[in-house]
Amino acid sequence: MLFEKNLLGLDIGSQSIKMVDIAKTRTGYELKAFGLGLIPSECIVDKDIMDSETVVDTVKNLRENLKIRSRGTASAISGHSVIVKKAELPLMSEAELRQTLLIEAEQYIPFDINDVYLDSFILGESLERSDMMDVLFVAAKKELVDDYASAVRNAGLKPMLMDIDVFSMETMYEVNYPDAPESIVALVNAGASMININVLKEGMSIFARDISMGGRQLTERIQREFGVSYERAENIKTGANIEGIDLEKINYIFKMAAETYVQEIRRTLDFFLSTMVNENIEKIYLSGGSSRIPGLVKLLEKQMEIPVEKVNPFNNIKWDDRVFDPEYMAYIAPQMAVAVGLALRRADYKW
Ligand SMILES: Nc1ncnc2c1ncn2[C@@H]1O[C@H](COP(=O)(O)OP(=O)(O)OP(=O)(O)O)[C@@H](O)[C@H]1O
Ligand SMILES: [Mg+2]
């Protein structure tokens, strides 16, 4: 018999760890619990776990506070140790692809093949040639995957599935925007140390890229400009503590940051567009904590000349407004995109 098991979504970000528990009911999805725990900036650097004890403790605390009993967990990695590449190969079955994977992947992946875990997906027949098919390769450094899996395990959970950030955004989008009229959309997740980009065509990923840039640089800029600690700079940034702060100066810093972000996102999307003929991105969905940078949505919209919307990962998920505060939900939603995508995954296993 084949069972589908509900998985806990665990997004281990370099600034915050997010946990989401979603139940699949007969009528759809239902939010049971979610939470977010901050970790100090030196815990995860360039997506490498430097202080696993703090990560493990934060996950344990979250699970305890949320009173979550289940253990099976889906988590994700991203960054420079993960490569996603699209390739065109002759038509073949999944089984045949698996066999050729090792030989074919070597030319697409700039790492030693022995150091990575490989996966591949058949996207479908190639648009240009009917005897070819488009295949997506994913390679992730074993060391990174193993480190994240260990952290999950040491927190008392069972790592059942390791995804990558860009694909969990895709799962989140599929479930929450099933009737979206656009053919091509870009999902852009702006976090603390990464901007993850996934361009979907008819719901399938056709381009994915991680940019090493994030809110951390902005916090460091605030820290330098005002001569304050990293923690104080974070509080200034989120508006939690702006006592004695020159508002004009901070607004100028936000403006500069938004410009840098938009420039990077635009550069990447323009590169993608240059590889396409007669295709346009019709909408951008923005997520991640850094999507809150004042003016970012407007500036991106203006520069790209396409609509930009903050994503709502709870758009198609039921939640009880007596349990969850609507105001907080609206605030936190874009930051939960990856974690929700993970919580929507299911582990199939044979009995
Ligand atoms: N109001 C705000 N204005 C500007 N930036 C904000 C605001 N709130 C949070 N951020 C920033 O969002 C970032 C955290 O976002 P997020 O939780 O998506 O990142 P992460 O998943 O921990 O990081 P990553 O995925 O890059 O490792 C931090 O840099 C934080 O300073
Ligand atoms: Mg993140």
pTM of the model: 0.95
Q: Looking at residue 350, what is its pLDDT?
A: 46
pLDDT of residue 174: 96
Average pLDDT taken over every residue of the chain: 94
Check residue 301 and give its pLDDT.
98
What average pLDDT score do residues 24-32 get?
A: 92
Per CATH, the number for 2-218+250-350 is 3.30.420.40
- Which bound ligand lies closest to the C-alpha atom of 43? 1
Give the closest residue (by CA) to ligand 1 atom 19.
191
Please check the confidence at residue 128 and state whether its pLDDT lies above 90: no
> Is the CB of 16 within 6 Å of ligand 1?
yes
Q: Is 15 in the pocket of ligand 1 (CB under 6 A)?
A: yes
Ligand nearest to the CA of 291: 1
Closest to 183 (Cα-Cα) out of 198, 157, 163, 203: 203
Give yes or no for residue 292 CB within 6 A of ligand 1: yes
Q: What is the pLDDT of residue 351?
A: 42
Residue entry with tokens 């970000």: 13
- For the record, the structure tokens of 273 come out as 């567009």
Higher pLDDT, 85 or 326: 326
Q: Where are the domains of the chain?
A: 2-218+250-350
Q: Give the separation between CA 166 and CA 262, rounded to whole angstroms.
A: 19
* 224 alpha carbon – ligand 1 mean position (Å): 18
Q: How confident is the model at residue 94 (pLDDT cuts 50, 70, 90)?
A: confident
Q: How many CB atoms lie within 10 A of CB 254?
A: 17
3 confidence band (pLDDT: 50, 70, 90)? low
Ligand 2: centre distance to CA 182 (Å): 25
**How many CB atoms are located within 10 Å of the residue 95 CB?**
7
